[in-house]
Amino acid sequence: MILIKLGGSIITNKEKPLSPRMVAISNIASQLRKIGEPYIIVHGGGSFGHYWSVKYDMHTKPARYSMRGVSVVKNSMVELDKIILDALEKYKINPYCLPPTDFMSGDRPIASKIDEMGKIAKAGLVPVTFGDALWYGNAKSYILSGDRIMSILAKRLRPRLSIFVLNVDGLYSDLKTRKLIRQMKGDSFSIKDIPMDVTGGMSRKVQEATAISKMGLKVFFANGNKPERIVNAANKSDFEGTVFGGRN
């Protein structure tokens, strides 16, 4: 079992509101069909969900955010999800859409529903879920990121590999020279070891990747502009990117 997170920066153009990167999405979909084992796809919000959540000042911490905001963010995520689903459908990947409301109650994962996701994947469908605006209770809501979903699913399903697909080659130790960190080793590293230039979305990704890796599971950051790297990691254990928790 493999978990694949398609980051918002690879599936959308973050510079331009509500703009999917159709060619990148299609290229990734065409490669994913070559993966020879069950997998689950999680995707981010990019210039869809993030665009609106910034406009309505919504965050990951549950609070009484604008209900208009909740509705608009969710609607935009459904729209982006449909674009992803259609691309997967085109390559006969058999996506099975499962919004996070299917397996989350407030901010708590529903174990039986996550187990069901694993069964759905093993039966030959590809569950597809996404970061979203979620109802929390008591008029509160929150943004559940796709990166967080990765560690929620990993904890329960214990995937052989969790792949974060990015718009860059992996984690850089130096943003200017683009020097790639090929391996974040063992459980001896901590978030403090992440270089200073890792900011924003990337630091959250590293945080969740670290959490998954500390569960004893392998994590890989790959460039979605070279989608064969996703397939090579999945099928041939050839990791061209950043591996958390030891290369084999």
Q: What residues make contact with ligand IP8 under the rule CB under 6 A?
A: 8, 44-45, 49-50, 53, 73, 77, 131-133, 143, 145-147
Nearer to ligand IP8, 50 or 229 (CB): 50
Name the residue whose CB lies closest to ligand IP8: 131
CB of 53 to ligand IP8, least distance (A): 4
Nearer to ligand IP8, 173 or 225 (CB): 225
CB of 192 to ligand IP8, least distance (A): 22
CB of 38 to ligand IP8, least distance (A): 22
CB of 152 to ligand IP8, least distance (A): 12
d(CA 104, CA 99): 9
Nearer to ligand IP8, 43 or 218 (CB): 43
Nearer to ligand IP8, 147 or 169 (CB): 147
Nearer to ligand IP8, 53 or 151 (CB): 53
CB 28 within 8 A of CB 165: yes
CB of 125 to ligand IP8, least distance (A): 22
